Amino acid sequence: MKDLTEKELNALISLLDDDDPEVKSHVQDKIISIGHNVIPILEKKWEDSFNPELQKEIEDLVHNLQFSQLKERLYDWVNTPDQDLLTGLWIVNTYQYPDLEFDKLNTDMHQIYFDVWTAFKNNLLPHEQIRIINSVLFNSLRFSANTKNFHSPGNSMLSNVLDTKKGNPISLCTIYLLVAKKLGLPIYGVNLPNLFVLTYKSADVNFYINAFNKGLVFNKQDINNYLSHLKIEPRDVFFEPCSNKDIIVRTIRNLIVSFEKLGETEKINEIKELLKIVTE
């Protein structure tokens, strides 16, 4: 830990409640420079303390260190060739749930895939495949649209959606998409204005799926009608598959809107930092 023993580190942390603002600032900078490995010691110090002010100082430091780690992970993800979707969603998820392990999400998603896979039969036609996925996800597992709390930040957190079985268009689509990809189906995300949907797109078959409406199947003309209703000119991006990075960008934008609705300025600014990493 940058040449500091645990005893020295504890002594350093104790200086966080020093009356001298300059000493306090120096100590904070020193602790942050050590990196996220110091978090367990800070958390132990928080548990042992009966000083509310010191506890608040430690909470802020832990958050700053966790947020710094999140940004590093997101930057690394952007620079990986495949930009794995589940990994990207997990990284965003750690903003609200910093202790969440990737393996936990991966295991939960694999169980959903297994439930769908066991319902599949050989030589199914595309629409039959979708009917089975819809039946398992929306009837058996009871995933549904979170219409009551549409703007809740939890709707953009995959772990929360898996726990509550309620989500927004993009989170429900990502669950659907991750399962479909594992099944080897040609299903992709599609960025529509105000709505995220999926497309089944192979050499000879192309239709669309609305996971927010229990997997409703629709066609290109329905998208044209939707755009016409919104008075928006059709563009290729509204009909074609988008990338995993596009999905993460949209998830982060949704989070910004969620925190704007709650008036949480600090969180808005932090999420905008994440958006900058994935859009630059």
Looking at residue 19, its pLDDT comes to: 65
Which of 20-24, 57-61, 155-159 ranks highest by mean pLDDT? 155-159
Residue 145 CA to residue 175 CA, distance in Å, equals 13
Q: Across residues 205-233, what is the average pLDDT?
A: 97
Is the predicted pLDDT of residue 140 greater than 80, yes or no? Answer: yes
Is the predicted pLDDT of residue 84 greater than 80, yes or no? Answer: yes
Q: Where are the domains of the chain?
A: 6-78, 85-279
> Looking at 52-56, 80-84, 173-177, 235-239, which range is the least confident one?
52-56
Q: What are 15-35's pLDDT values in tens digits? A: 676 666 777 777 777 777 777
What's the pTM? 0.88
CB 177 within 8 A of CB 198: yes
Residue 163 phi/psi, 5-degree rounding, is -75, -45
Cα distances from 267 to residues 29, 154, 245, 257, in angstroms, run 21, 14, 21, 11
pLDDT range class, residue 1, cuts 50, 70, 90: very low
Is the predicted pLDDT of residue 48 greater than 80, yes or no? Answer: no
According to DSSP, residue 188 is labeled E
Is the predicted pLDDT of residue 56 greater than 90, yes or no? Answer: no
CA-based nearest residue to 172, from 117, 124, 209, 218 = 209
Is the predicted pLDDT of residue 214 greater than 70, yes or no? Answer: yes
Say which residues have a Cβ less than 8 Å from residue 54's Cβ, sequence separation at least 6. 16, 17
pLDDT range class, residue 160, cuts 50, 70, 90: very high
Q: Across residues 222-231, what is the average pLDDT?
A: 96
Is the predicted pLDDT of residue 10 greater than 80, yes or no? Answer: no
pLDDT range class, residue 3, cuts 50, 70, 90: low
Residue 215 CA to residue 111 CA, distance in Å, equals 19
Q: Token pair for residue 218?
A: 């629709």
Helix (H, G, I), strand (E, B) or coil at 264: coil
Residue 144 CA to residue 174 CA, distance in Å, equals 13
The mean predicted confidence, pLDDT, of the chain is 91
Tell me how many degrees the CA angle 38-42-43 measures, rounded to the nearest 5. 120
CA-based nearest residue to 170, from 183, 142, 151, 148 = 151
Q: What are 102-131's pLDDT values in tens digits? A: 999 999 999 999 999 999 998 999 999 999
Q: What are 166-202's pLDDT values in tens digits? A: 999 999 999 999 999 999 999 999 999 999 999 999 9
Is the predicted pLDDT of residue 2 greater than 60, yes or no? Answer: no
Distance in Å from the first CA to the final CA of the chain: 32
